A and B are shown apart, each in its own frame.
Chain A
Amino acid sequence: MTDALTGFCLLLIVVGMVPTLMAFAQFVVIGWHGLRNHYSQCRDYTPRVAFVLPAWNEADVLGSSIDSLMSIDYPAGAWRIYVVDDASTDHTPDVMREKMAQYEGSVFHLRREKGGQGKAHTLNHGIRLILEEGWAEAVMIMDADVLFEPLTLRRMVRHLADPKVGGVTAYVKEGSYPGSLLSRYIAFEYITAQAAARRAQNVMGGLACMAGGAQLHSRENLIAIGGAIDTTTLAEDTFTTFKTQLAGRRALFDANAIVWAEEPDSVTALWKQRVRWGRGNLQITKAFRELWFHPNRSALFGNIGFGILWFSVALMPAFALLGSFGLVGLYYLWPAWAWEAFSVMWSFTFFSYLFQTLFSFAIDPAASRRAWFEGLTFPGLLAIAVMVTAVIGLKPFADGDWKHPQYWTLRDIAVQVILGWTAISTALAYGVYRLDKAGAPKWLRDPLLVLVGYGPLLCAIAVGAIIAEVRNADLKWDKTIKSGKARIQT
């Protein structure tokens, strides 16, 4: 019985390592993008592009977005901006009147008198009219606050010269100015989650998500996927990405095409935004349940690597919890093996962390100069201490001679905290969120976030998303409030 339980705990530890192993594998693949990318199939192609901006009370950011879009480097008259106003109650109509006069014939205001159905419905209103009009050869779905660098559109459209490509997404960078600790964490996160991970996905042949902030579709692709985007889930951008690929066209990421966006500046706002994203991913997992791991039904979803990667992100907290249970359980069953397992697991995590962090700095040196501290402390200072414990050993916690826990001594407790750190840090990150929600000042929240880590916070948010989805909470589109702080940062 003890042997079976020990084996089970070891299995849990291996399962708990899946997200770390997948993240590492993904980073290893990235470099191949230098040798195997789509640039060789690009051509000089500048189709007529319609930008669709869904807007609900975006008056503070719309003006600068439109100005940014109208100053891009692209053939004159070959792009237009359609702002789909979801019955805004602020002065969005006034901003639009001003901008339409300023950019006559290039900026259009499509107002819905009855709104409130969410972003996807708002976008569909604009997409339907644009497709009916027939002018646009490509459609750029984006957010109202996103700022385009002058050459971003040229970088994106060149891929559409290849008829096998249906959609292209850009690298959305965090552009809040002045920045904050949280915005710099997000900036670093976007290096790993976009500039790094999506390059790897390009190599692997299937993109998990074309960012909703800059999602370019060929007209043919948009029509092929039904002429509208999904309204049944909270992750319409991911759904559209999957439909594009299921319809037989490629979805690509161009890391050199850069746009800037303002991201949440409080943990509470981040929680709201990411729970929506997390729930959307879970809904998509369910919506395509017949395809995962079935290569005969879908090349993309049937791909084992892509499937494990997807589930390791969508169900990250479950993996973390299982790994922690496995280690603590092993400590009770076979303490010496617990030390060995802990040492191997966290030493690998340390070298993987070192590799991913340094490589992320190299992938985007400009963003890393701004967010180097946040990159180094991404897993949390306490997690780094746990890694160091595993790598170099710190008596009395890691002398390699752990005994069966007999009493609740300080050492026993400390060892169990270290072994269960992945799960414990997730719970502590939830505490940071609750503190922020309760109105804790930044001088208290920020040091706690550095100690506990931004990574565990994302894990805690994923738990929140799973709970909300299981409880079938309202499917409302909780818009992230933007204040116009984003700048194109060079």
Chain B
Amino acid sequence: MGQDDKVGQGEDPNLTSPTPTSGESIYERLQAEDVANERRVFWSEVGIAAAIAFLAIAYFILA
């Protein structure tokens, strides 16, 4: 029933080294997108933290 017997019939087990492959353009696009997203998260935090800090300070001054 099982297919365990098929395991072990794979390709040459020599491992490849982390060298550039044909997907380089995809890789670069993903890197650019993801780095940009992390920057967006950073600036979102700066904006929201500033707004909340303003609210909190206003609250403490008025309270």
Binding site for B on A (CB under 8 A): 28, 30-35, 37, 39, 42-48, 73, 75, 80, 82, 85, 93, 100, 108-113, 129-130, 132-135, 137, 151, 154-155, 158, 160-161, 199, 219, 254-256, 347, 351, 354-355, 358-359, 362-363, 391
Report the minimum CB–CB distance from A201 to chain B (whole Å): 15
Q: Is the CB of A358 within 8 A of B52?
A: yes
Interface bin, chain B: 35 or more
For B35, give the chain A residue with the smallest CB separation. Answer: A39
Those of B9-41 within 8 Å (CB) of chain A: 9-11, 13, 15-16, 18-24, 26-28, 30-31, 33-35, 37-41
- Cα A293 to Cα B19 in complex, Å, equals 40
Report the minimum CB–CB distance from A162 to chain B (whole Å): 8
Which of A46, A110, A160, A358 is close to B7, meaning CB atoms less than 8 Å apart? A110
Report the minimum CB–CB distance from B28 to chain A (whole Å): 8
CB contact under 8 A between A359 and B44, given known A43-B18, A46-B23, A75-B22: yes
Those of B39-61 within 8 Å (CB) of chain A: 39-46, 48-49, 51-52, 55-56, 59
Binding site for A on B (CB under 8 A): 1-4, 6-11, 13, 15-16, 18-24, 26-28, 30-31, 33-35, 37-46, 48-49, 51-52, 55-56, 59
Q: Is the CB of B49 within 8 A of A161?
A: no
Q: Is the CB of A33 within 8 A of B38?
A: yes
Which of B16, B22, B41, B56 is close to A34, meaning CB atoms less than 8 Å apart? B41
Please name 27 pairs of A and B residues whose Cβ atoms are closer than 8 Å in the assembled complex, sorted by A: A31-B46, A34-B38, A34-B43, A37-B38, A39-B35, A44-B23, A44-B27, A46-B23, A73-B26, A80-B10, A82-B7, A93-B1, A100-B3, A109-B2, A129-B7, A133-B8, A133-B13, A154-B26, A155-B30, A158-B30, A255-B38, A256-B30, A351-B52, A359-B44, A359-B45, A362-B44, A362-B45
